[in-house]
Amino acid sequence: MGMVKYFPLALLISFALVCLVRAQDQSGFISLDSGLPANTSYTDQITGLYYISDASFINTGISKSISPDFRKSIFQEPLWTVRSFPDGLRNCYYINLTAGNRYLIRGTFMYGNYDGQGQVPDFDLYLGANMWDSVKLGQPSDIIYKEIIHVSSLNYIHVCLVNTGSGTPFISALELRPLGNDIYVTQSGSLALLTRWDTGATTNQTIRYKDDVYDRIWWPISYYRWTELNTNLDIKQFNDYRLPSSVMTTAATPIIANSSLDISVTAGNDTTQCYFYMHFAEVEKLQANQSRVINISLNGNQWYGPFSPEYLSSTTIYSKNFSTGDQHVSIYKTESSTLPPILNAFEVYKVIELRQSETGQEEVTAIMDIKSLYSITKNWQGDPCAPKEYSWEGLNCSYNDSNTPRIISLNLSSSGLTGEIAPYISNLTMLKILDLSNNNLTGPIPDFLSQLPFLTVLNLERNNLTGSVSVELIQRSNNGSLLLSVGENPNLCTSLSCEKKKNNIIIPVVASAVGGLFILLLIAAAIILIIKRRKQQGLVTVSFEVNNRSEQLESKKHQFTYADILRITNNFERVLGKGGFGIVYHGYLDGTQVAVKMLSPSSVQGYKEFHTEANLLMRVHHRNLTAFVGNCDDGTNLGLIYEYMVNGDLASQVSDQNAYILSWEVRLRIALEAAQGLEYLHNGCKPPIIHRDVKSTNILLNENYQAKIADFGLSKIFATDDANATHLSTRVVGTPGYLDPEYYTTNWLTEKSDVYSFGIVLLEIVTSRPAILKRPENAHISRWVSSILAKADIKRIVDPRLQANFNINSAWKVVDLAMACVSETATTRPTMSQVVMDLKQCLEVEIARTMENDETKSKDSIPEFGLNFTTGLRPTAR
């Protein structure tokens, strides 16, 4: 029990000892001798304080030495050099400290004719965003100290010198001293020192470190009505003010024993708030018949007392509340006291309200990082936004009364920037305007720029950026929410076609919850197996190889004359088919097969429109859209040239009349690819392109059975002379069997009309039956499917030639999806993005199944992944 009892006490004592040692060895002190050459330091002979150069705390200013005349007359080495700021309105020190700790911050100023001008300047001193004080020097030899006791909420402070037009600001020394957190506490604001007196001092020397562990400077003061009392004994310190013994061993007392010690403080005007700190210690050993009882009044009112100072022990009496205006303190003895009053030391501070908050720390960090990355000089010092009149050049901020300022605009145009676009910009989340034009920036345009929610102007002109402009930025630009300028970047791809390269990398399988690498391995294994197996079975093989041919063609796209067309088609030698807008011929362009669609003149609405639209189509690129090679606009001969799709259209390939049987997996892949093409038209193009004529004959297959959408965008400009395909109006609005029923009522085509048509295509893919059946006669495929669905018999819906060789869950899901697409009301149909996602899942399931099958067949080389792809895919109750 005893041990437990004494343990806390032991702790307390050792803690006090640690503190004492800490403060004695200047730990936490920051002592900057301004103007000292970089990386140099010294220990001051008088104070023992260790001073270092200020060079690493400020980027600006020049080092100067005071005139030798003045150096002779002072002993303090820190005053021998100054840092002078001939350039810039505001120059700032940036000093790391511990947020939430109380610091005494002191600037020292002695002109000493350092510039040989003999003109003593006046200037202002700021602490962060707020005015701290004005520095007014009378004589070249004047030494001015500006002290403030401050608690920073940030882990740094800016101390700034501001040129007010009365000469060049300079500073001699800048010091920070950590204080105890229980002393000099205010209700609000920070405490700027007005006076700190060592009353009753017997010398005319100031007292500071090492006598004062906090390095407060105590000025000796005497008055003709006062006399001194002192002791040779130490004054013990039992409070946190830790007053220096040398200050406390001397006390002032009035010469006339029964009069008072009076102190008047003029602190400014009536609104100035002051805090008083009075320090007492009895320095005389009183006799039994002696007493010293003190009463204190403030402005004539009783303030504190009566009390007797303790012998050789400090007592600090301070105003807990502030008082305002001129102050008159009177310290007097009570009637019963046999001895006059005493006062050992006295401090007065005025409150400085630091009302202007500084820019948020995250933004400051970001902009400081940008500053150092690009080595920006400008006037980028101190707080970026505050105070407003000194905010950084090229920055605009929002100031909402009490809120912290936010950076809303950053203009670094023509600033000689090199390297990549700084990632730190992503943390300037309130940015509305970003101008990085006319620099030497390289590398890609980072994605985060499209994530900045408020960005309305982005200027990247005249740089050397590479890569491509993201779809998001182009979309924001196209819909008017972003003013985007990217011109004169010679190696930057600025069109939508750049998206193509990106897309080619995407494997058409979602890596949802499973590791991406596993998926890749799976696919690789799947491809090998599928190809192997298909070869054995004599079925169609599928490959994931990216088809480079269309890219080769695209690079040569241009306008063709009618003579070119004749040469390409060898005088229209071979007809491939007859489409909605004319006849399609086979041809060769530079050895590559192409399809040339010659438009029947009667179908073209207007030549100008044709031209505009053809140019638009040239800019639309996707691996699941037939590549547009060029056009011919030669008199009345209008033609469009596309890549040639060897395997023709989906309608004939999937039909049960075709001898080849497309496997379930190939069907899913074709469906997914076609869906991706449509999804791109809807979401990847601005304005969105509505196909208006989605049908299985408009989905073409290349030699790898890769599906591509054809004839997109055409219905907008062309009428048709295909009697079979038109009714309702002279303009093409679709093909019977595929036409959105809601169109009849609203007369309004939307993306959802394409979704409806795609749903019909999906049903064709599943069933291998046409949109309008021959048996039962002229029945619509959707009616037929839903009648069988009512019996929940999926096997009768799917092409019977597949002989149940498919994952039943994925079949259910595709049919569900198709039925959702052909819903009567447009709003209940899914979007193409949803369709793409669902089809990807179905394809995953099927790939997993075929892999399993192959695994059971050839156990030799297949790794076991143990992935359950079928989770969440079940036939739904209907």
- Residues belonging to the active site: 693
Among the residue ranges 121-129, 185-193, 433-441, 764-772, the one whose residues contact ligand NAG (CB under 6 A): 433-441
Q: How many CA atoms, within 13 angstroms, populate the side-chain half-sphere of residue 107?
A: 26
| Cβ distance to ligand NAG smaller for residue 466 or 805 | 466
302 counts as binding ligand NAG under rule CB under 6 A: yes
Contacts with ligand NAG in 474-493 (CB under 6 A)? 491
- Nearest approach, Cβ of residue 827 and ligand NAG (Å): 41
Select from 324, 464, 475, 647 the one that contacts ligand NAG (CB under 6 A). 464
Min dist. Cβ of residue 260 to ligand NAG (A): 9
Site string for ligand NAG, 531-550 (x = CB under 6 A): --------------------
Closer of 315 and 626 to ligand NAG (Cβ) = 315
Q: Does 724 bind ligand NAG (CB under 6 A)?
A: no
> Among 663, 718, 714, 661, which residue's Cα sits nearest to residue 689?
714
Number of residues that bind ligand NAG (CB under 6 A): 34
Q: What is the CA radius of gyration of the chain?
A: 43
Asked if 730 touches ligand NAG (CB under 6 A), the answer is: no
* The three-state (H, E, C) secondary structure of 89-120, written as one string: CEEEEEEECCCCCEEEEEEEECCCCCCCCCCC
Q: Is the Cα dihedral 543, 548, 551, 557 positive or negative?
A: negative
8 A C-beta contact, residue 723 and residue 713? no
Question: Among residues 189, 305, 467, 648, which is the contact residue for ligand NAG, using CB under 6 A?
Answer: 305
- The DSSP bridge pattern shows strands 190-199 and 219-221 to be parallel
State the angle between helix axes of 751-767 and 832-857 in degrees (0 to 180), rounded to the nearest 10: 20
Among 139, 232, 264, 287, binds ligand NAG (CB under 6 A): 287
Q: Which range binds ligand NAG by CB under 6 A, 138-146, 333-341, 814-822, 855-863?
A: 333-341
Stretch that binds ligand NAG, among 302-310, 396-404, 699-707, 714-722 (CB under 6 A): 302-310
**Judged by CB under 6 A, which stretch of 234-242, 297-305, 308-316, 560-568 contacts ligand NAG?**
297-305
- Among 238-246, 316-324, 436-444, 714-722, the segment contacting ligand NAG (CB under 6 A): 436-444
b/e burial code for range 246-256 (CB count within 10 A of at least 16 → b): bbbbbbbbbee
Q: Is 139 in the site for ligand NAG (CB under 6 A)?
A: no
Helix (H) or strand (E) holding 164: strand 156-166
Count of beta carbons in the 10 Å neighbourhood of residue 575: 11
Cα–Cα distance for residue pair 454/476, rounded to 1 Å: 11
Please tell me whether residue 381 binds ligand NAG under the rule CB under 6 A: no
Cβ nearer to ligand NAG, comparing 352 with 814 = 352
CA distance 460 to 441: 9
H/E segment holding residue 363: helix 361-373
Cα separation values, 464 from 75, 423, 477, 495, Å: 58, 17, 21, 17
Is residue 31 near ligand NAG by the rule CB under 6 A? no
Residue 515 and residue 775: Cα distance in Å, rounded? Answer: 47
592 binds ligand NAG per the rule CB under 6 A: no
Half-sphere exposure of 482 (CA within 13 A, CB side): 25
- Read off φ and ψ for residue 450, nearest 5 degrees: -75, -10
Question: By the 8 A CB rule, do 196 and 219 touch?
Answer: yes
Nearer to ligand NAG, 449 or 699 (CB): 449
Q: Is 827 in the site for ligand NAG (CB under 6 A)?
A: no
145 in contact with ligand NAG (CB under 6 A): no
Q: What does the buried/exposed string (b/e) look like for 24-51 if buried means 16 or more CB atoms within 10 Å of the residue's CB?
A: eebeebbbbbbbbeeeeeeebeebebeb
Q: How many residues does the chain have?
A: 878
- Does the protein bind ligand NAG through residue 268 (CB under 6 A)? yes
The first and second tokens of residue 137, run together, are: 């020097």
Q: Quick one: which H or E segment has residue 867?
A: none
The number of beta carbons lying within 10 Å of the beta carbon of residue 857 is 12
Task: Examine residue 220 and tell whether it contacts ligand NAG (CB under 6 A).
Answer: no
Distance (Å, whole) CA 666 – CA 658: 15
One-letter amino acid for residue 221 of the chain: I
Q: Does 269 bind ligand NAG (CB under 6 A)?
A: yes
Residue from 43, 266, 440, 828 in contact with ligand NAG (CB under 6 A): 440
202 binds ligand NAG (CB under 6 A): no
The two three-digit tokens of residue 70, written as one number: 């003045």
CB of 394 vs ligand NAG, minimal distance in Å: 15
Candidates 186, 222, 426, 870; binder of ligand NAG (CB under 6 A) is 426
- Choosing from 27, 39, 73, 745, the residue that interacts with ligand NAG (CB under 6 A) is 39
CA distances from 181 to 14, 18, 100, 342, 539 (A): 19, 16, 9, 28, 83
Q: How far is the CB of 194 from ligand NAG (least distance, A)?
A: 12
Q: Which of 134, 187, 338, 833 binds ligand NAG (CB under 6 A)?
A: 338
In the complex, the smallest distance separating the C-beta of residue 57 from ligand NAG, rounded to whole angstroms, is 5
Q: Which of 27, 139, 264, 289 binds ligand NAG (CB under 6 A)?
A: 289
From 289-297, 467-475, 565-573, 753-761, span contacting ligand NAG (CB under 6 A) = 289-297
Which residue's CB is nearer to ligand NAG, number 21 or number 256? 256
Tokens 């073409």 found at: 700
Member of 334, 655, 750, 831 binding ligand NAG (CB under 6 A): 334
Q: Which is nearer to ligand NAG, 423 or 516 (CB)?
A: 423
Please name the residues in contact with 65: beta carbons below 8 A apart, sequence gap of 6 or more. Answer: 35, 71, 80, 81, 82, 114
What mask of x and - would describe binding to ligand NAG in positions 74 to 113, judged by CB under 6 A? Answer: ----------------------x-----------------
Contact of 585 with 601, CB cutoff 8 Å: no
Closer residue to ligand NAG, CB minimum distance, 369 or 816: 369
- Out of 139, 232, 271, 536, name the contact with ligand NAG by CB under 6 A: 271
Quick one: which of 36, 47, 49, 57 contacts ligand NAG (CB under 6 A)? Answer: 57
- Listed in order, strand segments (DSSP E) in 644-714 are 699-701, 707-709
Cβ distance to ligand NAG smaller for residue 271 or 825: 271
- Tokens 């259910």 correspond to 812
Q: Identity (one letter) of the amino acid at 357?
A: S
Q: Is 575 in the site for ligand NAG (CB under 6 A)?
A: no
Among 47, 163, 438, 823, binds ligand NAG (CB under 6 A): 438
- Judged by CB under 6 A, the residue of 167, 180, 189, 306 near ligand NAG is 306
Nearer to ligand NAG, 161 or 672 (CB): 161
Would you say 250 or 720 has its CB closer to ligand NAG?
Answer: 250
Beta-bridge mates of residue 51? 42
Alpha carbon separation from 360 to 155, 386, 821 (Å, rounded): 12, 11, 50
Beta carbons within 8 Å of 199's beta carbon, 6+ residues apart? 221, 226, 250, 251, 252, 261, 343, 344, 345, 346
Residue placing its CB nearer to ligand NAG in the complex, 408 or 539? 408
Q: Would you count residue 206 as binding ligand NAG (CB under 6 A)?
A: no
Out of 199, 295, 356, 850, the only residue in the binding site for ligand NAG (CB under 6 A) is 295
Q: SS3 for 688?
A: coil
In angstroms, give the least distance from the CB of 55 to ligand NAG.
7
Residues contributing to the site for ligand NAG (CB under 6 A): 38-39, 56-57, 96, 203-204, 258, 268-269, 271, 287, 289, 295, 297, 302, 305-306, 334-335, 338, 362, 416, 423-424, 426-427, 438-440, 442, 464, 466, 491
